[in-house]
Amino acid sequence: MTRPLAPANGLRLVLASTSTYRRQLLERLGIPFTVAASNVDEEPLPGESAVDLVQRLARAKAEAVARRHTNSLIVGSDQLALCGRDVLGKPGSGDRAIAQLKSLSSQRVVFHTAVHVINTATNGNEGHVDLTNVHFRSLTEDEIKRYVMRDKPYDCAGGFKVETLGITLFNRIESQDPTALIGLPLIWLAGALRRNGFDLP
């Protein structure tokens, strides 16, 4: 990705993630940015809560990339999905996605999505966590198989893509920011960008 020219505030925008979904979300805001891998160890600490984990990792990712970029605003993010006390990973295959969705039928899943920004020109930083409650309806095995075959949600925590056909799997979704469920809370992030001198919209 070509390094964009700095905007009027003199800062370059850098996404500390190689996630396709986060990149597509950030592109919605129309600000040129670059992408940088953070290579942060994502193992939880002993006894660490879901909220503490995602906050720590979002900040750690931003900090790791910030060390390599001057005059930049770095955006780090992390997400964790919980059904009860069970952490939901990415299924990785069709069979695992089917099994995961079977276990989530009629269940509630809570997505914790954290974002952290660091201004390397001022050393200023701030963070935010968004909680999204996803209520699955009662799903039949045939419905699940048809969904997985069409959407192939193998790289998505919970085994669904809410932005496409996955929206048919739920009774309701409770959230302050619908983009948080996809991986990056744009409402809060847009405010953080404005506070750091970026013009939006």
Among all residues, which ones are annotated catalytic? 78
SS (H, E, C) the chain: CCCCCCCCCCCEEEECCCCHHHHHHHHCCCCCCEECCCCCCCCCCCCCCHHHHHHHHHHHHHHHHHCCCCCEEEEEEEEEEEECCEEECCCCCHHHHHHHHHHHCCCEEEEEEEEEEEECCCCEEEEEEEEEEEEECCCCHHHHHHHHHHHCCCCCCCCCCCCCHHHHHEEEEECCCHHHHHCCCHHHHHHHHHHCCCCCC
Strand partners, 134: 109, 173
How far, in Å, CA of 152 to CA of 92, rounded?
9
Residue reference for tokens 């079977």 = 102
How far, in Å, CA of 54 to CA of 185, rounded?
13
